[in-house]
Amino acid sequence: MRSWNAPVIPVLPGKGSAPDLFDTATGGRHVTDGGRLYVCGITPYDATHLGHANTYLAFDTLGRVWRDAGVEVVYAQNTTDVDDPLLERATATGVDWRELAASQTDLFRSDMEHLRVSPPDHFVAVTDVIEPIGEAVAKLLADGFAYRVDTPDSTAGDDVYFDVDRAGSETAWHLGLESRLGAGDMLRFFSERGGDPERPGKHNVLDPLLWRSARDGEPSWPSAVGDGRPGWHIECSVIALDHLALPVSVNGGGSDLIFPHHEMSAAHGTALTGETFASHYAHSGMVAYQGEKMSKSLGNLVKVSQLVASGVDARAIRLALLDHHYRSDWEWFDDSLLTAVARLAEWQRWAARAVDGTEVTPLLTELRRHLADDLDTPGAIAAVERAVASGEAPSSIDVEAVDALLGIRVSA
Ligand code: 5CA
Ligand code: ZN
C-alpha cells in the first residue's frame, strides 16, 4: 500500500558509526550495521498518540544513524488493519471497519509526515497479504508446526494454532529466545496481550492462534486453510519474510510487543524457513499519561494530529519526545511542550546566524558519538544546547546535522 512522503535529509560530510544498540534477546549491546529493519506498525484506530509517535521516532533515529554511517536501509512495516480491537471499535461506533482502518491509516501517514519520519520502503496492510499468510499457515500445518482445534462456532472449519513445544524442540527457536522471560511472566503477558491460555484443546497454553476460521458477522477471506482471518503474530513474520532477507537486522517495536508478539513472530519465521528470524530485537519504552500507559483501550491519549491542529509546531513535538532516551518509560505532561517550544525558538535564532561550512564540525562529531551510543538522543540534544548557549555562530554543517540526525529542520 502507499507509504508516505519522505523528508529531505541532508547528506553530511564524513561518516558516522553504526549504532551500538541494546538487544532485548541478549540483554547486552552490540553494533548493528545490517540495515534490514522491520518495525511493527499500528492497529489503525485511535492513531497516532504520542506513545506511537515515540516508538516510530526511535526507529526513525536508527534509520538516520544507519544512513549517516553508509548503511543501506530497507525498512518494512505492517498495519494490523483487521484484528479484534479494531473490529470492536468499528462495531461500537457504527463505522465500517474498513473505513475506520483506512481513515486512521491516512491520519497516521499525515502525522508521520508532520513529524518528518522517514517512510518504510514497504508499508503493508494485513488485508493485502491474506493469501500468503494462508499459505504460510498451510505450510506450518503440513510441516507439523501447527494443528487444528475444534471450533464448533465457526461456519468454515477449525481454528489453527502454532505448536510452541514442537517448534522449540525442532528448530533454532525456543520460548524465551527473544524475551528471556520466565514461565509466570509469559503466561501473564500472553493473557493480557491478546492470547487465550484457557482455550480448550490447545497443546500448550501459550500456543498462539495462527488462523481464525470464519464466524458469522466477522470479516473472512478464502485461503489455503479455509475461510477465515489471520492470527496476530503470523502477519509480521510473513510481511518480514516477503520483503527482507533473513535474518532481519533489527526487529523493533514498543516494549509491550516483547512477549508474546515478537517471540511468536520469530518462532513462526524460523519454523517457516529454518533460519534465525532476527539478529537483533530493539524495543522502545512506554509513554504514560495521567499515571498510566498511554493506550487506546484506556483512552488516555494525546494525539499528534490534535496538537498539530491546535497550532503546535510538529518540530516541538519531535524535540519533546526525543528528549527522552528511547528505552526509558516516561510520562507525558502537557507542559512538556513548553520547554520544547522555547528550545526550538532558540535553536532557530542560532541557525539563522549560521556561516557556510563544508567540513565536519565538533558538534557533528559529538552528535554522531551520542547517537551511536544506543541512540542517545537526550545526549545529542544536550550537545546542541551547549553549542547554542556558547553564543558562537554555528557552521551550516551544524544546522544540517541537527536536521539529518535529529530530524529537526531549524534553518529558515
Ligand atoms: N499492530 C500492532 C503491532 S503488529 C500494534 O501493537 N499496534 S499498536 O497500534 O497497538 O501499537 C503500535 C506501536 O506503538 C507498537 O510498536 C507499540 O509497541 C507502540 N506503542 C503503543 N502504545 C505505546 C505507548 N504508550 N508508548 C510507546 N509505544 C507505544
Ligand atoms: Zn507486529
pLDDT, tens digit only, all 412 positions of the chain:
999 999 999 999 999 999 999 999 999 999 999 999 999 999 999 899 999 999 999 999 999 999 999 999 999 999 999 999 999 999 999 999 999 999 999 999 999 999 999 999 999 999 999 999 999 999 999 999 999 999 999 989 999 999 999 999 999 999 999 999 999 999 999 999 999 999 999 999 999 999 999 999 999 999 999 999 999 999 999 999 999 999 999 999 999 999 999 999 999 999 999 999 999 999 999 999 999 999 888 889 999 999 999 999 999 999 999 999 999 999 999 999 999 999 999 999 999 999 999 999 999 999 999 999 999 999 999 999 999 999 999 999 999 999 999 999 998 6
Same domain membership, residue 321 and residue 271: no
C-alpha triplet 218, 222, 225: angle, nearest 5°: 105
CA of 259 to the centre of ligand 1 (A): 13
Q: Does residue 40 belong to any structural domain of this protein?
A: yes
Q: Does residue 132 belong to any structural domain of this protein?
A: yes
58 lines ligand 1 (CB under 6 A): no
Q: Does residue 412 belong to any structural domain of this protein?
A: no
Same domain membership, residue 264 and residue 127: yes
Atom number in ligand 1 closest to CA 256: 18
Among 24, 48, 52, 322, say which to mutate for ligand 1: greatest number of ligand atoms within 8 Å of CB. 52
41 lines ligand 1 (CB under 6 A): yes
Among 256, 324, 327, 329, say which to mutate for ligand 1: greatest number of ligand atoms within 8 Å of CB. 256
Q: Does residue 9 belong to any structural domain of this protein?
A: no
- Identify the residue whose C-alpha is closest to ligand 1 atom 4: 40
Report which bound ligand comes closest to the CA of 264.
2
Q: Does residue 210 belong to any structural domain of this protein?
A: yes
Same domain membership, residue 166 and residue 273: yes
- The parent domain of residue 369 ranges over 313-326+333-406
Q: Does residue 12 belong to any structural domain of this protein?
A: no
Packing angle, helices 130-142 and 263-273, rounded to 10: 70
pTM (2 d.p.): 0.98
Same domain membership, residue 245 and residue 391: no
Q: Determine the Cα–Cα distance for residues 407 and 94; give it in Å rounded to an integer.
A: 39
Taken in order 234, 240, 246, 248, is the CA torsion positive or negative?
A: negative
Atom number in ligand 1 closest to CA 78: 4
Q: Are β-strands 209-213 and 159-162 bridged in parallel, bridged antiparallel, or unpaired?
A: antiparallel
CATH number at residue 128: 3.40.50.620
Same domain membership, residue 125 and residue 40: yes
Domain count, the chain: 2
Among 40, 80, 82, 264, say which to mutate for ligand 1: greatest number of ligand atoms within 8 Å of CB. 40
Q: Does residue 103 belong to any structural domain of this protein?
A: yes
Same domain membership, residue 271 and residue 319: no
Atom number in ligand 1 closest to CA 254: 18
Report which bound ligand comes closest to the CA of 256.
1
- Identify the residue whose C-alpha is closest to ligand 1 atom 18: 254
Q: Determine the Cα–Cα distance for residues 30 and 20; give it in Å rounded to an integer.
A: 5
340 lines ligand 1 (CB under 6 A): no
Q: Does residue 294 belong to any structural domain of this protein?
A: no
Same domain membership, residue 233 and residue 134: yes
How many other CB atoms sit within 10 Å of the CB of residue 214? Answer: 19
327 lines ligand 1 (CB under 6 A): no
Q: Are β-strands 28-31 and 36-39 bridged in parallel, bridged antiparallel, or unpaired?
A: unpaired
CATH number at residue 386: 1.20.120
